[in-house]
A and B are shown apart, each in its own frame.
Chain A
Amino acid sequence: MGRERQRVLGVLILIAQNAIASCVQIQRAKGTHTISEAGLFGANLLGLPELFWLGVWNVGRQEYEDKAGRPSKPPSPKQNVRKNLDFEPLSTTALILEDRPANLPAKPAEEAQKHRQQYEEMVVQAKKRELKEAQRRKKQLEERCRLEESIGNAVLTWNNEILPNWETMWCSRKVRDLWWQGIPPSVRGKVWTLAIGNELNITHEERQPVAIKLCLLRDQASVSSRRRDSGEAWVHSWALQLPDRNVLTCAHGTYPEPSLPELFDICLARAKERWRSFSTGGSEVENEDAGFSAADREASLELIKLDISRTFPNLCIFQQGGPYHDMLHSILGAYTCYRPDVGYVQGMSFIAAVLILNLDTADAFIAFSNLLNKPCQMAFFRVDHGLMLTYFAAFEVFFEENLPKLFAHFKKNNLTPDIYLIDWRQRLASRK
């Protein structure tokens, strides 16, 4: 049953990927690939973001199941005890057959014989159970060893074979299969970084104004001479010198595009200044980013604060006072400065959180910005309703083609993609 459900989910995920890919096709409107090609290379076109998340999902699930005990396995010994306590002791060491105390009349021979027999049966049962339990433990241990060994081997393969030859290997069958088994935690960050890529570092026409703006900022604050990881205190003091008002007035000339780690620092510093002016009620930064009102920004900042507390709350690491709280705050804040046109949208915090768990702050920001820049992610994060409907429609085409019965059932019950696909898409990436 569980396996069946997993299979169906797997197929649905593939369909989603294909749908996404075909939408990329539709969007690019080049007409150079057919839809089936799009399906085949769906993940490739996306730089594999969906597939790579699945890698996490698989390993995550495995880890979880190992911890929680696989559902298909017999119940834990504890449960066994509780269930059988009335008539079956757990261990033979607890079984001692004693005669009645001397101050009571002795048992009749018949009764004593019966008790001895019962006692022997109990011992046999208990021994059997002990044996079974020992076998189960041994099997579990073996399985864990096997898993650890396979993870160890996978790490070697990733590090020695795949990562050095990423460009040629990433779309191979072997890599894909290995990916589906889950990326070992130690190489996850590297694989993600490569898979997402850093397209944004390439000069892009529509990105030029942002780049120029940020370059100006960098020049004026002479950040190029600073190291990117020089600490919180420095970023804070540097933020004080940022000349916000001049930014928009001199957007001319050619400047080299800043690299994203620097860009992260720049954006973070700007975000910090905003937070500060927001908390002190200052109006200094009122007129920047024409078109995005102060009220919007305020809402955005408030929202980030509110949502961080609701991001994987059970892990207790992203909440106020938790080890990753500031990192998550920084990345989301910096992103709203980097892309004020997108701003902060609910759901982003989960993606950033998953990235933070596997990458350092600047790399996580790069991965985050690039990932969100993929057409499908962008459509959903900008909540571009029209484009989302296109994705939904494409998904339905693939859904019907691959799982016609389930599709008919969904249709019959008016279960349309707008009801579940938004959440699924998010879940593929990160949630729960």
Chain B
Amino acid sequence: MTYAYLFKYIIIGDTGVGKSCLLLQFTDKRFQPVHDLTIGVEFGARMVNIDGKQIKLQIWDTAGQESFRSITRSYYRGAAGALLVYDITRRETFNHLTSWLEDARQHSSSNMVIMLIGNKSDLESRRDVKREEGEAFAREHGLIFMETSAKTACNVEEAFINTAKEIYRKIQQGLFDVHNEANGIKIGPQQCISTSVGPSASQRNSRDVGSNSGCC
């Protein structure tokens, strides 16, 4: 399967916020309520289409426990995008965002696009963190923000794809050096940047998602 670019993503956040479930929903379009816990790092990949270009997202899903932080830090290297996830029903996962963000900023390329995600938006009755708080945090730290539900799939596509769009925008603005793999971007095999990639068989797997569907 050919692609124009490969973006490396990393998913971070406290344990149990739904990182693996978000990934599974995005790559397999299914929700597993009881998911095996992640130790070390696990991987997922999917093709998306941004502006008519096939882009492969290679997603690193990390362990959330505090003890694993020293290891997680080594996974930031060469990531183009990060999904920083908290659980809207557990305030402590929101309170820990600052320290996650510090880690992310410190161990990644300065151009890395960070998407803040308040997950489990389907559990409105148990909500512990207001949407506005998430928005304010994102504004303050220059992040993109979305509330998602890995269970209902609400905004999951959008979260991954909007991050890709932002990275793509940065590439076009010349902010990313696509030839330096340390930035988390790889040019696809047999591709040169000027070639435009037409729709291929992988098209059926990907959708160009427009603006927020606003289901959350």
Stretch at the interface among B66-74, B126-134, B145-153, B191-199: B66-74
A309 contacts chain B at the CB level, 8 A cutoff: yes
Most B C-beta atoms less than 10 A away, residue of A311, A349, A423: A423
Q: Once the chains bind, are B37 and A346 in contact (CB under 8 Å)?
A: yes
Complex: how many Å from CA A426 to CA B37? 12
Within 8 A of B (CB), among A302-342: 303, 306-307, 309-313, 319
- Residues of A near B75 (CB, < 8 A) are 419
Q: Once the chains bind, are B36 and A431 in contact (CB under 8 Å)?
A: yes
Q: Once the chains bind, are B34 and A346 in contact (CB under 8 Å)?
A: no
Q: Once the chains bind, are A418 and B68 in contact (CB under 8 Å)?
A: no
B15 contacts chain A at the CB level, 8 A cutoff: yes
Within 8 A of B (CB), among A265-312: 299, 303, 306-307, 309-312
Q: Once the chains bind, are A385 and B35 in contact (CB under 8 Å)?
A: no
The residue on B at minimum CB distance from A385 is B70
User: Which of A303, A349, A421 contacts B15 (CB under 8 A)?
Assistant: A303
B178 contacts chain A at the CB level, 8 A cutoff: no
User: Which of A306, A312, A388, A418 contacts B16 (CB under 8 A)?
Assistant: A306
The residue on A at minimum CB distance from B34 is A313
Complex: how many Å from CA A311 to CA B39? 12
Known: A313-B35, A313-B36, A383-B71. A419 touches B66 (CB 8 A): no
A422 contacts chain B at the CB level, 8 A cutoff: yes
Q: Once the chains bind, are A422 and B37 in contact (CB under 8 Å)?
A: no
- Residues of B near A420 (CB, < 8 A) are 40
Residues of chain B at interface, number, CB under 8 A: 19
- Residues of B near A312 (CB, < 8 A) are 36
The residue on A at minimum CB distance from B20 is A310
User: Which of B35, B39, B41, B74 contacts A346 (CB under 8 A)?
Assistant: B39
- Residues of B near A423 (CB, < 8 A) are 39-42
A261 contacts chain B at the CB level, 8 A cutoff: no
Q: Once the chains bind, are B36 and A432 in contact (CB under 8 Å)?
A: yes
Complex: how many Å from CA A309 to CA B35? 9
Per-residue CB contact flags for chain A residues 146-181 toward chain B (1 = under 8 Å, else 0) read 000000000000000000000000000000000000
- Residues of A near B110 (CB, < 8 A) are none
Known: A303-B15, A313-B35, A346-B37. A422 touches B66 (CB 8 A): no
Q: How many interface residues does chain A have, given as a range?
A: 20 to 34
Known: A303-B15, A383-B70. A310 touches B36 (CB 8 A): yes
A397 contacts chain B at the CB level, 8 A cutoff: no
Complex: how many Å from CA A174 to CA B172? 65
Per-residue CB contact flags for chain A residues 188-208 toward chain B (1 = under 8 Å, else 0) read 000000000000000000000
The residue on B at minimum CB distance from A347 is B39
Complex: how many Å from CA A393 to CA B14? 29
Q: Once the chains bind, are B37 and A418 in contact (CB under 8 Å)?
A: no
Known: A306-B16, A419-B41, A423-B41. A346 touches B68 (CB 8 A): yes
Per-residue CB contact flags for chain B residues 78-107 toward chain A (1 = under 8 Å, else 0) read 000000000000000000000000000000
Known: A299-B66, A423-B42. A385 touches B71 (CB 8 A): yes
The residue on B at minimum CB distance from A422 is B40
Per-residue CB contact flags for chain B residues 150-161 toward chain A (1 = under 8 Å, else 0) read 000000000000
A345 contacts chain B at the CB level, 8 A cutoff: yes
Q: Once the chains bind, are A309 and B34 in contact (CB under 8 Å)?
A: yes
Write the nearest CB–CB distance from A144 to chain B, whole angstroms. 30
B65 contacts chain A at the CB level, 8 A cutoff: yes
Within 8 A of A (CB), among B108-160: none
- Residues of A near B71 (CB, < 8 A) are 383, 385, 388, 418, 422
- Residues of B near A307 (CB, < 8 A) are 15, 37
Give 5 closest A-B pairs by Cβ, nearest first: A422-B40, A313-B34, A310-B37, A385-B70, A423-B40
Interface residues of B (CB under 8 A from A): 15-16, 34-37, 39-42, 63, 65-68, 70-71, 74-75
5 of the cross-chain contacts (CB-CB < 8 Å) are A347-B37, A383-B68, A385-B71, A426-B39, A431-B39
